[in-house]
Amino acid sequence: MNQTARRLGNSAVHVGPLGLGCWPLAGMTRGGITAADAQATVAAAIAAGITHLDTAYCYGEAGESEAAIAAALSTHRRADVVLAGKCGIHWEPGRKQVVDGRPERLRREVDESLRRLGTDHVDLLYLHAPDPRIPIEESAGALASLRAEGKTLAVGASNISVDLLRRFAAVCPLDACQMHYNILQREIEADVLPWCRARGVSVVAYWPLMKGLLTDTMARDRVFPATDSRHKYPMFQGDEFQRNLDFVEALRPIAHRLGRRVPEIVLAWTAEQDGITSVLVGATNPDQIRENAGSLTCQLDDEARRAIARAVAARGTVASRKPV
């Protein structure tokens, strides 16, 4: 993996090819994660050279992810990290997720996030998701104003269609777009990725390890409890789950030949795709960070790329990301 810092769109912000996705630190999708665990994970990421920290207002019912980042940053210079935040989704009682793109709501969330993080600005601010009740132009205008005020240096949009990207960019020029993307789930190659490439918009990928599936650590009889959100996703169910594990097995000899582990070659492959600027990996403890950081020194050769392509073709179409 090329470790050179990469520019985010037309902004002055640069990020490494590997970032820390801080959603798991909130403990909402998997139980048993303490505040100390979350803080230690962030600190381990920074120590490993993973200084692109991606969080959001809704990562935790009370900002647990942002609190962990703030605690870890108490012993680091603010300039040593790139903070990416998101606004536009919040929780209501009963863990009801609400998408709200009203300008006044977006501003309120950003101001609260900045207080939680202990900073006067984030480096990158995304609209977390479009609100179907609000014209995207209104939400885009709010983020443009926040950038003009210096509360963010760059603007992005996440979980969004090309049509809405186009409308957003007409009001507020975009520096980044964050979408799910991995070696098997490659839907954005048909539309979003080409659109962004043509306009110099950076694409930041989440789910590069397919929610842990591509880490090569899952047993075939794995059962996900109700406290683990993966039990809802078809890629972790029945025949689909078994076929995905077959694919992981096919990657093992490729990784072995390079003296690497499966997740290292998966992350290296993702980071080298045309148009992908940074890849976000989640973690819930420092050991996972150190393992993922190994991908920073992983270099794929043409033989490995061809073997990966054959394995992808043999796997065929995978299930949608949408829960059932």
Which positions are catalytic? 59
Quick one: tokens of 130?
């479009």
Cα dihedral: 291, 286, 12, 161 (round 10): 70
Contact 175, 8 (CB under 8 A): yes
C-alpha distance from residue 80 to each of 83, 106, 123, 187 (Å): 10, 26, 12, 34
The residue type found at 87 is C
**CA distances in angstroms from 240 to 62, 73, 212, 322, listed in the order given:** 35, 41, 15, 14
How many whole angstroms separate alpha carbon 16 and alpha carbon 35? 26
Whole-angstrom distance, CA of residue 25 vs CA of residue 48:
17
